[in-house]
Structure 1
Amino acid sequence: MNRQSGKQAAGQAAWVAGLALGLPGAALAQGAATPAANDAVSLPSVDVQGAAPANTLQREVPIGRLPGTVQDTPQLINVVPREVMEQQNVTTLDQALRNVPGITSSIGEGNGGVNGDQFRIRGFAAQNDIYIDGLRDFGAYTRDAFTYEDVSVIKGPSGFALGTGAVGGGIAVGTRVPHLGNSYSATATGGMGPYARGTIDLNQQIGETSALRLNIMGQSSSVVDRDNVDSRRFGIAPSLGLGLGTDTTLILHYQHYQYNNTTDAGIPVITKPGTTIGRPATEYGLPRSTWYGTDSDRDKVTVDTFTANLTHKANDWLTLQNDTRLSFIERDFAYSIASCPSTTANPCLTNFFAGRPALVALSGAGNPYHQDTWALQNVASATARFTLGGLKNELIAGIDLSHENVQRTGYNYANTRATASIYGGDGDLWMDRGSVNNTRETTINTYAAFLNERLWLTPELSILAGARISRYEVEYDALTLSTNARTSLSPESTRVDPRASIIWQPRPNQTFYATYSTSTTPPGSLYTTQPSTASATTANLDPERNTLYEIGAKVGLFGDRLGLYGALYRIDKSNATETDATTGTVTQTADEQRNQGFEVGLTGQILANWTINASYTAMDSETRKSTTAANVGKRVQYVPEQAASMWTTYDINKGEPLNLSLGGGVTWRSQVYLNAANTAEAPSNLSFDAMVSHRINDHLRVQVNGYNLGNALNYDALFGSRVVPAAGRTVLFTLAADF
């Protein structure tokens, strides 16, 4: 088959698939692939995947609505490349994001809330702001990184590109896709915990312009220094690429992922008598291994996603793109939420500090639930690059449509929950699921259109302006069976999120910019994950509004081998809401919050054999207005004043028989407050990690990773009244093969 006939076949396949999926503009693919008889050329079966630059400023942004490289984008973007994830042996999205300062993780509220990946960017919730290959990844669950090519964090309100939410920004994952040429790799990892994990990554070219790729993962592991906390995961992700290397490319991807994990609600935050600030009980001698669960405290999740990414270069100036995803997420969940009260009925706190036996209280919010989610999203866009009136233009326009349905059933326990010592629960106890307690169903429809124009006034100076208009419709119905109390709400909202920048690029590797951007979080957007926010009062609230002001610079050094970036920013959030950590009641509906600060970073190669990815941020957060007067002037919860991360590797005798790769890094954040009143805190985190790798031959590599080498008492996830201690010192061994 010659190159043009391959293009034609791929174009026809894309056109047919486009009709089946309802993809706008897909019919153009057929006409674009019409061959000329004398244009036949042979396309060799070689891998055309070039090595990605170590300087992540030179990498493409993994969101189609933000075309170009990180260097060209007038907003701060942190990138965690695959090379770093492999060196660190990253297995989850949470682990990848530890390379990005200013991100914290929080814990869900149990039956009344959300669990799984819950990230805060610069202190603001980003639980619905995770994107994979440009599309929102619906559902609350713990994500595995076995298909990840890179992870980027777009910082600051980004409603234009990401839609609703995106207060602190968004998390964008690029996955491994089929490529021309053949490649086969596998890894086997074992170590402390105990820990065992295996992965396979196979790519097979099956035609001149087509290839298949298959990723498989299996894991069974436990967490060092966390009693009874184990995880069993499995994932398989086949994908097909058509029209690779041609003007019309279609990537079809399916992923099945499932896990059965022990749930970990953490340990309580307590206030020592005579003090005013609550701290984790582990700061007062409670072993960090303490766990309050039972055998029935599990998080069982099955995720199936189908994705189609179609790109068609219609001509030299117009590119059309259409991305579609259908997702199904099934989840069974239960855990034990412990608190240490000091009451006449339960003097836990008093007894703990007096050295007497103390019993924690276990909240009913940890009762089991079953949840089914399905969601469909389609984003169609056109990017036009043209010259008009002697001025260069880049115009992006498109539509973003999505539907999400969530059905949750909450259960009572058939047997009485046993009391637990503050020093740990009974891991051998099984709690039988009882009768249905409540049912909830949420349907969310979003209709959005966006337009963005970048105009070059001179070859060096350009202005960027755009906006997204979004229509957001929610249908919510909840029933509590014990009282027959029903809540039915239908909030609707239409909002516009503008964006504007001025960009000066005296050279291609020097970018200086000033940006204004907004995002909106409409009422009802959290009903799915925080049903306690659903009431007739909150349904009529004005949307939360988030505004970013940022000035920054991105500069390539030493022939772009190294990238230096920095930014000053301010985020203002109005109409903020807060959910009480104990009761779930929504309050402070007119709060105004601000987080401002700066971030600097370095990425790339210091020398040909020495790479570095490092960044530091300082943040000054404040509650500027509140219905609770005492909270005015306090720091915003979960926002540290400082945070930093660094990972560096040095290759010795690369390509020689006696070779070695040495890596090391540090992650650090300062103390954070856990509530708006600033009466509870989590201490600072500090972790030192290291890696030693040796390539045995062209196909085999051995690697040893050490984590938290100082065995520091750190905290992985935070909530208003509890925290989850991080793993203690851990060492893992990996054997990797690639062909």
Structure 2
Amino acid sequence: MTRRTHLLSEVSGLALTAGLALAMAGAVRAQVPPQPAEAQQSLAPMLTLPGISVEGQQPANTLRRQTGIARLPGTVQDTPQTINVIPREVLEQQNVTTLEQALRNVPGITSAIGEGNGGVNGDSLRIRGFFAQNDVYVDGLRDFGSYTRDAFNYESVAVLKGPSGTTFGQSTAGGAINVTTRLPHLGNSYSASATGGMGPLYRGTVDVNQQVGDTSAVRLNLMGQRSEMVDRDEVESRRWGIAPSFALGLGTDTTFTFDYLHFEDDRVPDFGVPLATAPGRSVARPVTEYGVRRGNWYGFDLDRDDVVVDRATARLRHQASDWLTLYNDTRVTFVTRDFAASPLSCDAACNQNLFDGNPRTIPTVTAGGGGSPFHQETIALQNVTTAQARFTTGIFRHEATVGVDAWIQNDERTGSSYNRGRSAVSLLDPSHSAAGYSVMPGSGANVRETDQRHLGAFLTERVWLTPQLSLIGGLRISNYDVDYKTYGASTAPTTVSSNDTFIDPRASIVFEPTPSQTYYFSYATSTTPPGAFITTQPATFNAANSTLEPERNRIFEVGARASLLNDRLGLYGALFHSEKGNATETDPVSGTTTQSGDEQRIQGVELGVTGRITPNWSVNANYTYLDSETTKSTTAANQGGRVPYVAEHAASLWSTYEAFRDTPYNLTLGGGVTYRSQAFLNAANTAEVPANFTLDALVSHRFGEQSRWRASVNGYNLTNELNYDGLFGNRVVPAAGRTVLLTLAVTY
């Protein structure tokens, strides 16, 4: 109760922030004189009003979709930034169940294991090699907490690449991930699905939308799943979720939506397999590359990752006039997590015994680092108030976005310990027995409490110099304050604090010779202050590094987009150059930040195609080339090396063809591949993960009255490649082997 009271005491501050933002919007409105009739006529065609979300009406060409973020108005086509969108159609065809699975469609994203002592394990993502743990957003608001997200309520997933400080605030060094959820719409729709298959896996979902008035509707999404991973011993998950929502004023000038998510997940964390260096080699690789069984799991029976998420979001949109739209979005989140894992390492003796050829010498691994159990509670609140104004001054058209973004987050983590140190286990045949072990209260400074506060004001304006040529300028001023306290029953409290104020600008030139063509040059920045990852990596923030300069990130990007075949198919490409200054690196074993002041450069090419080649043939394909380099380092040996977790080449392809459409013999055939080339796991480039290749396929058939029923078979990793999904400095997680799932779904 004390922590909730602490949070609620700051709500008044956020309410004041919202009021200030609305006052700013009103001031903008007051300063713009009424437009003459002819100006209003010229203005009307460029108004972009939020549409009603109705299934089946979103264009297959994702370039023609809205960005889904109020403070980033317009479509993907005319936004000067690389944006990859995974639409609901693809999510359903691939039978995607988690955010991580959805992001396999986006090259340039890697998943990390993290360091369990900080609770990173979950959706620990990197975009273009840059840490993106805190850069997951849902409907434009931060998705607080560290956990593995389920996709049962997803309408689409978008990845906005490149530093995005003006739009989202701190961090976003590599970009941001924004999930669009399923919200109520006018009209009725009902659907359900049941999936079963190898693992085993059992999953069921329900999606019900009911119109209850002329302008109101309610919606309910449900999910339940129990699964084990193919070719990974003991790794399982039991989860369920419910997401009710309602909307008022649909199709009117004022729309209010409220949605709630309750999600529970009891899973066994997988910290993968260790690395080893073969004789005669200087670069370590996963032990599974040297004959160790890929199913080996090195955890203990006491390992767990139990998460409960409660998230409520209220959003208000008001069309104040034909040129002014106001938004006010508020989210409150509660996350509890009970966690214990077994990060492992293969030391010098283990490495030697693996390769000495003596079958009587059993190599062993030890669990250490961040394996102590803990209980963590997260309480967070965010409010974003935005005003969009579209007006003319003389011969120039304008689109201005102004607002205030404020959030607070409190985390309290209580650590426990085992009654005795965990013994080493065989690398070749590990034991998981917890016999003789028990969890007892922690000693020393076993309680960690963190308070984070962020306040940002942003302004972006787009002005059309001609109907085809426009300039975009933006600025965000942010203040980030963090207090971190550790204490225990017999340990005096110690506190570390930091406060940083920083500015992130953006600027772009956009040329649109036709409504279906866009060419742009863009510059943007982001800032990562000390303590930004305090929730997930406490060791990165202490008395020694709390005064470090913030990490600075900037990008230069040149891109082009074109929609063809009556806007049915979209093509896009971009050249970019990203720089990261004052980079920090965390030791993979201790979790301690060991250096700062490094500079990294990542540049490359992005190419893609999205939409339909014919009405029956759809395709979504992306390719990324990343050239990375540590251009400056306090460790001389690292200078000139490649940036960790960055693969030079990555590609994804998913394509389907609907044969005999609208006949009893209809058949949807689909398939795709994902590829990621070799990547290094540390700045010294002395550890690496091999390339990944996955071949997937789909066969689907609709039947019954009006083809309401659908039966489908999905095959994943059909060639049974030894791939790796989760990466870290001294270990990696093998991906699932060949998997086949069957789904039966119905829609009304």
Q: TM-score, normalised by structure 1?
A: 0.93
CA distance in 2, matches of 1:305, 1:554: 36
What's the counterpart of residue 577 of structure 2?
570
What's the counterpart of residue 384 of structure 2?
379
1:478 aligns with 2:483: no
AA matched with 2:367: L
What's the counterpart of residue 601 of structure 1?
608
Cα offset, 1:50, TM superposition: 5.6
1:350 aligns with 2:353: yes
For 1:556-705, what aligned pairs fall within 5 Å after superposition?
A: 556-697=563-704, 698-705=707-714
Q: 2:336 aligns with which of 313, 322, 330?
A: 330
CA contact (8 A) 2:227 2:237 kept: yes
For 1:450-529, what aligned pairs fall within 5 Å after superposition?
A: 450-479=458-487, 484=491, 486-529=493-536
AA matched with 1:585: T
The 1:324/1:550 distance shift into structure 2, 3 A limit, reads same
CA distance in 2, matches of 1:163, 1:487: 29
Cα offset, 1:423, TM superposition: 2.0
The 1:616/1:552 distance shift into structure 2, 3 A limit, reads same
What's the counterpart of residue 243 of structure 2?
237
Q: 1:70 aligns with which of 76, 81, 90?
A: 76
The 1:646/1:485 distance shift into structure 2, 3 A limit, reads farther
Q: 1:191 aligns with which of 188, 197, 205?
A: 197
What's the counterpart of residue 730 of structure 2?
721
The 1:48/1:490 distance shift into structure 2, 3 A limit, reads closer
CA contact (8 A) 1:477 1:486 kept: yes
CA distance in 1, matches of 2:420, 2:479: 46
Cα offset, 1:352, TM superposition: 4.9
CA contact (8 A) 1:28 1:314 kept: no
1:345-395: CA deviation from partner (whole Å, max 9, x where unpaired): xx5532554342121111142111110001000000000001111210000
* 3-state DSSP of counterpart to 1:86: helix
What's the counterpart of residue 12 of structure 1?
none
AA matched with 1:349: Q
1:259 aligns with 2:273: no
For 1:11-410, what aligned pairs fall within 5 Å after superposition?
A: 25=22, 51-343=57-349, 347=350, 349-354=352-357, 355=359, 356-410=361-415
Report the aligned-residue RMSD: 2.0
Identity, % of aligned positions: 58
The 1:567/1:387 distance shift into structure 2, 3 A limit, reads same
CA distance in 2, matches of 1:292, 1:485: 36
CA distance in 2, matches of 1:351, 1:155: 41
What's the counterpart of residue 36 of structure 1?
none
Q: Greater shift after overlay, 113-122 or 560-569?
A: 113-122
CA distance in 1, matches of 2:298, 2:133: 25
CA distance in 2, matches of 1:349, 1:684: 25
1:599-646: CA deviation from partner (whole Å, max 9, x where unpaired): 100001111100000010111000000000110000000000000000
CA contact (8 A) 2:25 2:387 kept: no
CA distance in 2, matches of 1:311, 1:251: 9
What's the counterpart of residue 11 of structure 1?
none
AA matched with 1:83: E
CA distance in 1, matches of 2:333, 2:468: 43
1:55-85: CA deviation from partner (whole Å, max 9, x where unpaired): 0000110221111100010001000000000
CA contact (8 A) 1:19 1:26 kept: no
AA matched with 1:73: T
CA distance in 1, matches of 2:228, 2:118: 27
CA distance in 1, matches of 2:531, 2:721: 40
AA matched with 1:91: T
Cα offset, 1:429, TM superposition: 2.5
Unmatched tracts of structure 1, length 5 or more: 1-17, 30-45
What's the counterpart of residue 3 of structure 1?
none
CA distance in 2, matches of 1:619, 1:47: 36
1:244-284: CA deviation from partner (whole Å, max 9, x where unpaired): 11110111001100010011111001111221000000000
The 1:411/1:349 distance shift into structure 2, 3 A limit, reads farther
AA matched with 2:352: L
* 3-state DSSP of counterpart to 2:382: strand
AA matched with 2:476: R
The 1:334/1:19 distance shift into structure 2, 3 A limit, reads closer
CA distance in 1, matches of 2:352, 2:622: 40
CA contact (8 A) 1:694 1:703 kept: yes
The 1:349/1:731 distance shift into structure 2, 3 A limit, reads same
CA contact (8 A) 1:552 1:566 kept: yes
1:380-437: CA deviation from partner (whole Å, max 9, x where unpaired): 0000001111210000000000000011111110244232110243234254211223
The 1:28/1:668 distance shift into structure 2, 3 A limit, reads closer
What's the counterpart of residue 706 of structure 1?
715
What's the counterpart of residue 10 of structure 1?
none
AA matched with 2:302: S
Cα offset, 1:341, TM superposition: 1.0
CA distance in 2, matches of 1:677, 1:602: 36
CA contact (8 A) 1:291 1:424 kept: no
Q: Greater shift after overlay, 178-187 or 583-592?
A: 583-592
AA matched with 2:472: L
The 1:381/1:22 distance shift into structure 2, 3 A limit, reads closer
What's the counterpart of residue 743 of structure 2?
734
AA matched with 2:308: T
CA contact (8 A) 1:436 1:481 kept: no
Cα offset, 1:19, TM superposition: 8.9
CA contact (8 A) 2:369 2:589 kept: no
CA contact (8 A) 2:278 2:355 kept: no
* 3-state DSSP of counterpart to 1:537: coil
1:69-128: CA deviation from partner (whole Å, max 9, x where unpaired): 000100010000000000000000000000000000001211244110011000001000
What is the aligned residue count?
A: 703
The 1:27/1:67 distance shift into structure 2, 3 A limit, reads closer
AA matched with 2:485: D
